[in-house]
């Protein structure tokens, strides 16, 4: 079996970001570096804020995440604030200039109550005019249809820190309206299963997103369909939103 700490380390292998070679990093990095204070919600192992510090960010950086094992890895850096909690527990009244929610973490807010409580807390953590930048998968692109071991592009093969060769892939369990429930399987090359990780994510379209944002006191300033800042289309895989706090 793979422990929670090992899964947290594996996350960094499977998601080698931020990285200047990747479009996500080229999109987020200028926003972070130009903001005097940043709250990263769903910070995971803290790679993005850690890299911002290495690149010379001198302002306040705070990472928020409910995954204790991931935060243990993040806390190897002492020059960033790390807080355990979900988005709805974002610290209010702190006056952050920028809040981020990367890696499609926004989709983990499955219910209307989750979305409303989280957006209200994020709004409360920002100063007036502060920006909330996040990305979600475009439901019209139907990304979940490719989450299968039968899809070679969905199967990742890595070697962990202990030198073990591993395979990781997804399988969809159910699609219930906007909510897709799936599991990821971590296995040895011969198929021996080491860990199964289950998750539900919600695919919200643009009208629904904008309704929730407006209700929470945000105005959409910019919206993109890919990391090159092209418009949202039916075929585009992303909905990338820059919203301002009113």
Output the CA–CA distances (angstroms, integers) from residue 232 to 122, 145, 206, 228, in the order listed: 24, 20, 9, 11
Q: How far is it, in rounded angstroms, from Cα 160 to Cα 155?
A: 16
Phi-psi region of 93 (alpha: psi -120 to 50; beta: other; left: phi over 0): left
pTM score above 0.75: yes
Do you know the residue count of the chain? 246
The residues, ordered by sequence, that sit 6+ positions from 157 with a Cβ below 8 Å of its Cβ are 165, 166, 167, 168, 189
In this predicted structure, what is the pLDDT of residue 161?
86
Query: How many CB atoms are located within 10 Å of the residue 203 CB?
Result: 22
Q: How far is it, in rounded angstroms, from Cα 85 to Cα 40?
A: 12
In this predicted structure, what is the pLDDT of residue 11?
87
Output the CA–CA distances (angstroms, integers) from residue 43 to 129, 134, 166, 196, 208, in the order listed: 22, 12, 24, 22, 25
Q: How far is it, in rounded angstroms, from Cα 226 to Cα 9?
A: 28
In this predicted structure, what is the pLDDT of residue 189?
93
Going residue by residue through the chain (246 aa), what tens digit of pLDDT does each one get? 678 998 898 888 888 766 667 899 999 999 999 999 999 999 999 999 999 999 999 999 999 999 999 999 999 999 999 999 999 999 999 999 999 999 999 999 999 999 999 999 999 999 999 999 999 999 999 999 999 999 999 999 999 988 999 999 999 999 999 999 999 999 999 999 999 999 999 999 999 999 999 999 999 999 999 999 999 999 899 999 999 999
In this predicted structure, what is the pLDDT of residue 215?
98
Nearest alpha-carbon partner for 43 in 18, 19, 21, 13: 18
In this predicted structure, what is the pLDDT of residue 1?
67
């Amino acid at each position: 079996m793979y422990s929670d700490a090992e899964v947290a380390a594996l996350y960094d292998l499977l998601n080698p970001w931020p990285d200047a070679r990747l479009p996500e990093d080229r999109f987020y990095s200028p926003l972070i570096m130009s903001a005097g204070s940043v709250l990263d919600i769903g910070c995971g192992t803290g790679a993005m804020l850690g890299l911002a510090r290495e690149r010379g960010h001198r302002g306040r950086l705070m990472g928020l995440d409910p995954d204790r094992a991931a935060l243990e890895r993040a806390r190897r850096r002492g020059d960033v604030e790390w807080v355990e909690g979900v988005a709805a527990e974002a610290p209010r009244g702190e006056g952050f200039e920028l809040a981020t929610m990367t890696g499609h973490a926004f989709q983990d807010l499955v219910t209307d109550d989750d979305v409303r409580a989280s957006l209200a807390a994020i709004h409360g953590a920002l100063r007036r005019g502060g920006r909330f930048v996040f990305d979600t998968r475009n439901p019209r692109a139907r990304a979940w249809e490719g989450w299968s071991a039968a899809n070679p592009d969905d199967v990742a093969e890595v070697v962990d820190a202990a030198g073990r060769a591993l395979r990781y892939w997804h399988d969809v369990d159910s699609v219930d309206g906007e909510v897709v429930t799936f599991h990821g399987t971590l296995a040895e090359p011969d198929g021996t299963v080491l860990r199964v990780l289950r998750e539900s994510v919600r695919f919200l379209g643009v009208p629904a997103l904008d309704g929730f944002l407006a209700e929470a006191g945000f105005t959409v300033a910019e919206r993109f369909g890919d990391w090159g800042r092209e418009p949202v289309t039916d075929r585009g895989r992303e909905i990338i939103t820059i919203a301002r706090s009113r």
